[in-house]
Amino acid sequence: MKDHPNVVIFPPLIPLAILLAACALQWLAPLGLLANLGQGLRAGTGLAIAIAGIAIAASGRRALVRRGTNVNPFQPSTALATEGIYRYTRNPMYDGGTLILTGIGVVFALDWIFPLLVLGLVTLHFGVVRREEEYLARKFGDEYRRFQARVPRYFGSVKRAVSAEPQ
């Protein structure tokens, strides 16, 4: 048996594909929604969102490296990261990447990033996150299930008191 999650795509390719497709669509069929906002407002807001995303994603990566486990999902996980940013979300790198894309979309008035982000997040959730969770539950058992019960899957997720399926 492979000792890694059976993800359908290397996760960083999802935001890259979203960004490239959004740029192409914006060039081919601009929507012009965000362009109506002032450039200063867009730049300040978008930059703040992107910087927050970078900080969150980098914090998640650092926590994995500190625990001595692999960041790449095509390599085995050797330890669970449950401290630092992982006390608030089980997927800080994906949460951070979403914020980075949102910030870029706002700064550069890439309206297309937002509908594409919905498709990308569905792909990420079912093609990566759920598969990583199944792998980690098999590998780390009750330790991982306790972590799932304690920490939401994504920032902004509401933990349910009783749940048939961990978030």
* 119-146: pLDDT as tens digits: 999 999 999 999 999 999 999 999 999 9
Q: What is the mean pLDDT of the chain?
A: 91
Residue 90 · residue 147 · CB < 8 Å: yes
Does the structure show a pLDDT above 60 at 164? no
Q: Determine the pLDDT at residue 159.
A: 55
DSSP-H helix ranges across 29-161: 39-67, 92-107, 113-124, 130-140, 142-150
More confident residue, 167 or 44: 44
Query: What is d(CA 147, CA 123) in angstroms, rounded to the nearest whole number?
Result: 23
Q: Determine the pLDDT at residue 154.
A: 93
Residues 88-97 have a mean pLDDT of 96
Query: What is d(CA 75, CA 20) in angstroms, rounded to the nearest whole number?
Result: 27
Query: What is d(CA 103, CA 42) in angstroms, rounded to the nearest whole number?
Result: 9
Q: Is the dihedral of CA 27, 28, 34, 35 positive or negative?
A: positive
Residues 58-72 have a mean pLDDT of 95
Q: Determine the pLDDT at residue 92.
A: 97
Look up the pTM and report it: 0.88
Length in residues, the chain:
167
Residue 108 · residue 96 · CB < 8 Å: no
Name the burial class of residue 45, with classes exposed (0-12), middle (13-18) and buried (19+) by CB atoms within 10 angstroms of its CB.
middle
Does the structure show a pLDDT above 60 at 10? yes
Please give the structure tokens belonging to residue 149.
Answer: 């019960």
Radius of gyration of the chain (CA): 17
Find all residues with CB under 8 Å of 43, minimum gap 6, and list them.
107
Q: Determine the pLDDT at residue 102.
A: 97
